[in-house]
């Protein structure tokens, strides 16, 4: 295992408090999988058989609703785990996962993870905590889509992306991810027109700078204020 991969594993809560020997065993039990831009790691509804860990590129998680609408749930990058629901017996993936650019993951078949959990109780405890956290995050996303007004939803998505992929600049924060206005519409459960109109207004007011598939947040505090303001 390379020092870079060791550091990446240590950066994730799933592997916290595991020593280097345990992490070496975890890495040896994993398989590598590379996908080209647009290829899928799995589809919503497939049997959940693998836990994945991003080591290169980015992965888009999206869910299709009962009426056929696609909701873009999240983008995740290196050092993040997804599909941890595979730990549950007979579970199915609640989302589809798609490579954004050339992407590479480690994955563990469910049987391998179960064996590692038995060998390292700390890993099992971390996994249960992470699973609870991720389920809570998905529930929050669904609640946001159903209860919050559009402007607040857009602000929250931008701030979440800034936390996950933000690159600090002298005059703001660049969301270091190629994201289109259509992507933002899918992430916020609204229309392309509404997203475009909202971003244009914020750009006019100096809150953001919207480039082709990139956004720079010029006034993070102002955007946080919109994201956290009361619905009353």
**pLDDT digits 0-9 by tens, 150-193:** 888 899 889 988 887 888 888 889 987 778 888 888 888 788 89
Q: Specify the pLDDT at position 136.
A: 77
- Pair (120, 20) in one structural domain: yes
- Pair (141, 153) in one structural domain: no
Q: Specify the pLDDT at position 104.
A: 97
Q: Which two tokens stand for residue 124?
A: 């099992």
- Pair (126, 221) in one structural domain: no
Q: Identify the CA nearest to 217 among candidates 163, 181, 180.
A: 163
CATH number reported for the structural domain that contains residue 184 in this entry:
1.10.10.10
- Pair (116, 208) in one structural domain: no
- Pair (71, 185) in one structural domain: no
Q: Specify the pLDDT at position 145.
A: 66
Decide which of 103, 130, 146 is a domain's last residue. Answer: 146
Quick: pLDDT tens for 4-27.
898 989 989 999 999 999 999 999
Q: Specify the pLDDT at position 140.
A: 72
- Pair (125, 192) in one structural domain: no
Decide which of 114, 130, 146 is a domain's last residue. Answer: 146
- Pair (70, 14) in one structural domain: yes
What is the value of pTM for the model shown? Answer: 0.74
Phi-psi region for residue 9, left (φ > 0), alpha (ψ -120 to 50) or beta? alpha
Q: Specify the pLDDT at position 89.
A: 86
Decide which of 127, 146, 165 is a domain's last residue. Answer: 146
Q: What is the number of structural domains in the chain?
A: 2
- Pair (141, 157) in one structural domain: no
- Pair (105, 135) in one structural domain: yes
What sign has the CA pseudo-torsion 69, 155, 130, 114?
Answer: positive
Q: Which ranges of the chain have pLDDT less than 50?
A: 232
Domain residue limits at 81: 3-146
- Pair (77, 115) in one structural domain: yes
Angle at 147 between CA 143 and CA 151, to 5 degrees: 110
- Pair (82, 153) in one structural domain: no
Residues 6 or more apart from 25 whose CB is under 8 A from it?
116, 119, 120
């Amino acid at each position: 295992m390379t020092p870079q991969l060791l550091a990446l594993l240590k950066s994730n809560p799933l592997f916290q408090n595991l020593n280097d020997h345990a992490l070496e065993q975890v890495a040896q039990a994993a398989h590598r999988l590379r996908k080209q831009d647009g290829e899928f790691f799995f589809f919503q509804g497939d049997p959940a058989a693998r836990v994945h860990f991003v080591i290169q590129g980015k992965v888009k998680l999206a869910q299709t609703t009962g009426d056929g609408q696609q909701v873009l749930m999240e983008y995740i990058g290196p050092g993040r785990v997804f599909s941890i629901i595979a730990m549950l017996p007979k579970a199915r993936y609640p989302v589809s996962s798609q490579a954004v650019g050339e992407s590479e993951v480690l994955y563990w078949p469910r049987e391998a993870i179960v064996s590692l959990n038995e060998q390292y109780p700390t890993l099992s405890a971390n996994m249960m905590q992470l699973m609870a956290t991720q389920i809570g995050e998905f529930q929050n996303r669904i609640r946001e889509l159903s209860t919050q007004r559009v402007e607040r939803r857009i602000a929250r998505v931008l701030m979440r992306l800034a936390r996950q992929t933000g690159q600090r600049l002298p005059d703001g924060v660049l969301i270091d991810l190629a994201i289109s206005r259509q992507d933002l519409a899918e992430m916020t459960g609204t229309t392309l027109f509404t997203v475009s109109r909202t971003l244009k207004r914020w750009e006019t007011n100096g809150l953001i700078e919207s480039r082709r598939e990139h956004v720079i947040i010029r006034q993070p505090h102002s955007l946080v204020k919109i994201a956290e303001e009361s619905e009353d």
